[in-house]
Structure 1
Amino acid sequence: MRQKLNSMFWNVLMRLAPCIKRIHDEKLNHMQALEIVRTVCGEVVWDFEKALEALKQPILIATRLGIFEIVDEILKVYENAFCFVDEDGKDVQQLAVLHRHEIVFRIILKELGKSWEDSVDNDLNTVLHLAGKSAPSSKIAGSALQMQREVQWFKAVENLVPPSMQEMQNSKGKTPIQVFEEEHKTLVKEGEKWMKGSASSCTVVAALIITIVFAAAFTIPGGTNTEGPAFIIFAISDALAFVSSIASVLMFLGILTTRYSPDDFLKSLPEKLIIGQITLFVSIASMMVAYGATFYINCTHQWKWTIFPIFLLGSLPVTLFAMLQSHLLFEMISSTYGPTIFPSKEEIRM
């Protein structure tokens, strides 16, 4: 048995070896590149011409790829490197927003401090116009969460820029909000479809629970024997399941009847889905507790030994629901109530 386990272990290890080696090589290359940048930056006294020749391409490429360590090292030795622009006229600040690299943008904000660059690219796009561009991330699951992230980016940048920049027009005569609305039409529709599909499915489940627990409330388990802790547990859990399932249905109905503007994806829709999911979980758990209490009250003496396995079976649906929905729920809670993408303008100036 031990030899078999050892053999299985080595087989798994051999299969993982190429992946481990690839990760190791990528990490090593990353560290070597960072060390080269540190060495070069540390041995030169930079003037603008020298910095433009040696640092322009590295910082622009690092910004596009989100390699924040290299961006940080370059800005430490030459703080004006954020003024370098690419062939489209975009500086590192604009590239960080366009490619949605949060850490890189935080580093640039730290270097900018009180001064904010009102720069524009070759198409007269400000940093707020670029925040309005659509850039869905493959790291975020679900079109609704992607739309929420896009709105968070736009609101965060809008909060940082001067008010005059919010009405500036690009070469096509469009303001930042017009660019945002035009670029995100498809994502809004996909987010609406995703939200309505989730809400419709959960509404059916919650409605079934309402029907079951409402009928159970008028079917007294044990006949006239309405005393004892088991009956109290049944009454409380049945009432809790009924109330929480109604609350869940109301939340999901609110999702189905929303007008679905981009701003709704920021707080309104995620909050309704979070509350609906939590109350649905509570209703399922309470229904299973009521089921266990009913079985305990009605079972005869010789079947008492079945209570524990029945309880375990009753907890299975609750566990499955938690396993299937917990990842999405935690991700939505983190995205909605977690730290904001960027600090406020006042925090930057401190």
Structure 2
Amino acid sequence: MAPSASRQGCAITGLIGIASPRRDLTRIEKKPRQQEVWGLSIEGGGSIIHSKTRQHRQRSLAVQIIGHPPSPIVDRRHQQSAGQQEGDRSVYVTPQFQASFSLLSDEKWQEYLNYGIPLYKAALRGDWESARQICSTYPECFAAKITRQGDTALHIAAVARRTDFAVQLVTLMVSNDSTENLRLRNNIGNTAFCLAAASGTVAIAKVMVHVEPELPMIRGNEGLTPLHMAALLGHRDMVKYLLPLTHDYLSDKELITLFISTINTDLYDIALEILRIHPSLAIARDGSDANGETPLHVLAKKPLKSYGSKLGIWSKCCDLLKVYRSHEENSLPPKALQLVERLWGEVLKQRQDSISELMRHPWRLLFVAVQVGNVEFITTLLCSYPDLIWRLDDNHQSIFHVAVQYRQEKIFKFIYEIGAIKDLLATYVDDNTGNNILHLAGLLPSSDRLNCISGAALQMQREMLWFKVVEDLVQPQLAEAQNFDGETPRTLFTIEHKELRKEGEEWMRKTAGSCSVVATLITSVVFSAALKVPGNDTSSFAKPLDHGAWYWLFAISDSLSLISSTASILMFLSILTSRYAEEDFLYSLPRKLMIGLTLLFISIATMMIAFTATFHIIFKPGLLFVGTSVLACVPIILFGIQEFPLLLEVYRSIIGCHFIFKPHHHQLF
């Protein structure tokens, strides 16, 4: 298996500015040939002295790789003397430098209190002046271990992303001819360069490499290269910088592991570049045996991130106007889709039996991609290899069976593009349970799929919709077929959704009851206001231009508020007296809730308009009237913030249910 890095929750955050080092470190040597081969652009350029101070994104960092001692490094330059071969790459052992002494020992405890702790704080803060004063008193302090993990001051500055401190310290090492201190390891085998790579600070890494070019090849704990550490933590700029420097010294196994790591951390542009140089990685497996994952397996199981809960009210409104939420789930990024296409193109160059073997082991990647809803992944594979539609999993189920079971409607819609093939696929039955595709629609999905919709009642509505859609597609005999437990699809649906139906009934009753109380109060207020019209005397009509328009506004808004609140009470009352059968959750109950909430919102808005008109009739226009009018908008805004998202969700469930399973265009053929 690939080496793994465990992350510890020590957060090191800060604002980092790239400061200018001393004159002997003002330039970093570039490698035009390697940069041209890889075609990777690194932000910040090759010179540190000309880099402008900028604020790095604050990010929690946890770096502690626990495992066996560091492994020897790989270097092709010493292959003649090594005599050990690993494929086409050779291995040699470099000297391993350890800090000469530790200030945490009993003999030096007083020195640790006097110098070690202040130096530790100075490195964390990036306070070079304090560190320089300590060094003038205790010259050996920068080579000493000042933490229990054996970290030196440079280790701490690197992981804390203190660029200026690290640059000044490296410059001091150069002037003192003590650059071997750059190779010092802590107790778990990591050099300061390893921690700089893990923190993603390219500026610190460039300074170190300028002084000691072999640092990128020195492995840390668990035998991981700094490049691999940066890839595991998803530092794109650091990986782009280290890849040309380290690539020639990686073994074939390490190259595969690095490629898989870039995919796991969404560094798709770098993965594409590696694949361009090494196309054979498309069918390589991560691990020492045949059960390792291929890059396609890694991409297949990557779940898509849902942004539905992050959309604002206006985004949801625009989305509602489109009726169909085409972006309900985030699609694969363009680079990831290109990577899938490139990988699949390389796989299709293999023999048929090799393709089948690759897709089956260590698990069937096609069906896992369906489970997580990886639509673009499935589309890419099916477009270039339509025969995959006939593939069955270990339970004798097609991708459409799995799509129904895991409620992946975007993949299930492909069934409308295959014509009569769907009638054949629908007849497949699970060998273990005897469930057909309609039985699978009757099963209760996992909570993560249910929670895509808010409210138990709306969840029940979506479940009923799934069952009805699948029921319309299958042959009539399948709707009455029994599984091995003697249950028909409808019976199984009732059993599986018994608790959800109860939760939906309770949720609907509470919502209707709360809203009916509000509507009743509004009805009482506006009815009382209608009986006692403000300023109701003959003198009020002497100047109709002064008050006539406001009287009309009061009359109309008060009437609308009374009518809408009364109608909403009737809607909520019909919800409370409903029988709450399974079919009621499909259209009847959600529609009543939608109408009731809409009328309630109208009644609140018109009631506040009537209040504003009354205030204008009674008092003279002025600042008081303007302030009161503004304050009158507060209840409307509060209601919109609290209840409008629910109203939009109900609208989507009612209107979108007619389109959610209908394909808008052909995606496969």
* 1:79 to partner: Cα distance: 2.5
Partner Cα separation in structure 2 for residue 290 and residue 20 of structure 1: 58
- Superposed, 1:203-222 pairs within 5 Å as 203-222=516-535
| Larger mean Cα displacement after TM superposition, 232-241 or 85-94 | 85-94
Which of 612, 616, 619 pairs up with 1:296?
Answer: 616
Describe the shift of the 1:285–1:24 C-alpha distance in structure 2 as closer, same or farther (beyond 3 A): farther
| C-alpha spacing 1:109/1:220, structure 2 compared with 1 (3 Å) | closer
Shift in CA distance, 12/332, structure 1 to aligned 2, threshold 3 Å: farther
Matched with 1:196 is: 509
How well do the aligned residues superpose, as a CA RMSD in angstroms?
Answer: 3.0
Could you tell me how far apart the structure 1 residues matched to 2:530 and 2:652 are? Answer: 37
CA distance in 2 between partners of 1:321 and 1:11 (Å): 40
Show the counterpart of 2:368.
61
Q: Which position in structure 2 is the counterpart of 1:3?
A: none
Partner amino acid for 1:100? R
Count the aligned residue pairs.
335
> 2:486 matched to 1:179?
no
Work out the CA distance in 1 between the residues paired with 2:647 and 2:476: 36
2:646 is the counterpart of 1:328: yes
Q: Supply the AA of the counterpart residue of 1:220.
A: V
CA contact (8 A) 2:410 2:661 kept: no
Task: Output the CA distance in 2 between the equivalents of 1:87 and 1:105.
Answer: 20
* Structure 2 residue corresponding to 1:134, chosen from 426, 430, 444: 444
Report deviation, 1:319: 1.1
Pick aligned residue for 2:536 from 220, 223, 234: 223
Contact 1:234-1:289 at 8 Å conserved across structures: yes
2:406 match: 99
Structure 1 stretch 87-96 or stretch 275-284: which is displaced more? 87-96
Which residue of structure 1 lines up, in the alignment, with residue 629 of structure 2?
A: 311
1:65 deviates by: 2.0
Matched, 1:340 2:644: no
How does 1:243-282 map onto structure 2 within 5 Å?
A: 243-282=563-602
- Cα distance in 1 for residues equivalent to 2:615 and 2:428: 71
Tell me what 2:390 maps to.
83
Report the CA distance between 1:69 and its aligned residue: 2.4
The Cα of 1:263 is off from its aligned counterpart by 1.3
The AA in structure 2 aligned to 1:25 is: T
Q: Is the 8 A contact 2:436 2:478 kept in 1?
A: yes
5+ residue gaps, structure 1: 1-5
Residue correspondence of structure 1 range 106-145 to structure 2 within 5 A: 106-110=413-417, 112-115=418-421, 116=423, 117=425, 118-122=427-431, 123-135=433-445, 136=447, 137-145=450-458
Structure 2: which amino acid aligns with 1:219?
A: K
CA-CA distance at 1:259 after TM superposition: 0.6
Q: Alignment partner of 1:322: what SS?
A: helix
Give the match for residue 349 of structure 2: 43
Deviates more, 1:259-268 or 1:30-39: 30-39
Q: TM-score w.r.t. structure 1 length? A: 0.86
Q: Separation in 2 of the partners of 1:51 and 1:156?
A: 34
The normalised TM-score by structure 2 is 0.47
Structure 1 CA distance for aligned equivalents of residues 376 and 477 of structure 2 = 33
**229-238 vs 37-46, which deviates more?**
37-46
Looking at structure 2, the residues matched to 336 and 276 of structure 1 have their Cα atoms a distance apart, in angstroms, of 14
For residue 37 of structure 1, report the CA deviation from its aligned partner. 4.1
SS in 2 for 1:270: helix
CA distance in 2, matches of 1:102, 1:288: 43
| Distance in 2 of aligned mates of 1:42 and 1:159 | 36
The answer on whether the counterparts of 1:230 and 1:297 sit within 8 Å (CA) in structure 2 is yes
Mapped to 1, the partners of 2:549 and 2:586 lie a distance apart of: 45
Q: Is this contact kept in 1: 2:347–2:355, CA < 8 A? A: no
Q: Deviations over 1:201-260 (max 9, x none)?
A: 000000001111111111120131355111111111111100000010011011111111
Q: Counterparts of 1:21 and 1:264 in 2: how far apart (Å)?
A: 52
Partner Cα separation in structure 2 for residue 238 and residue 16 of structure 1 = 56
* Distance verdict in 2 for CA 1:179–1:291, change over 3 Å: same
Report sequence identity in percent: 38
Q: Is the CA contact (8 Å cut-off) linking 2:519 and 2:600 kept in structure 1?
A: yes
State the AA in 1 paired with 2:649. E
* 1:30-69 CA distance string (max 9 Å, x none): 42862454223432464xx555423341212212222222
Is contact 1:34-1:69 (8 Å) kept? no
Shift of 1:119: 0.6
- CA distance in 2 between counterparts of 1:17 and 1:207 reads 55
Q: Which has the higher helix share?
A: 1
Matching residue of 2:58: 14
Cα 1:202–1:24 shift into 2, 3 Å: farther
CA distance in 1, matches of 2:648, 2:480: 37
Question: Residue in 1 aligned with 2:317?
Answer: none
Larger mean CA deviation between 81-90 and 311-320 belongs to: 81-90
Query: Is the radius of gyration larger for structure 1 or structure 2?
Result: 2
Partner Cα separation in structure 2 for residue 202 and residue 262 of structure 1: 23
CA distance in 1, matches of 2:453, 2:644: 15
**CA pair 328-13 structure 1, distance change in 2 beyond 3 A:** farther
Is the 1:152–1:341 Cα contact (8 Å) retained in structure 2?
Answer: no
What's the CA shift for 1:196? 0.6
Q: Is the 8 A contact 1:90 1:121 kept in 2?
A: yes
The residue type paired with residue 609 of structure 2 is V
Deviation at 1:17, TM superposition (A): 9.8
Q: Is the Cα contact below 8 Å between 2:562 and 2:603 reproduced in 1?
A: yes
Task: Note the C-alpha offset of 1:168.
Answer: 1.1
Q: Give the 3-state SS of the residue equivalent to 1:14 in structure 2.
A: coil
1:124, distance to aligned residue in structure 2 (A): 1.3
Distance across 2 between alignment mates of 1:278 and 1:105: 33
Q: Is the 8 A contact 1:143 1:194 kept in 2?
A: yes
Cα gap change, 1:282 to 1:126, in 2 (>3 Å): same
Between 17-26 and 155-164, the greater mean CA deviation after superposition:
17-26
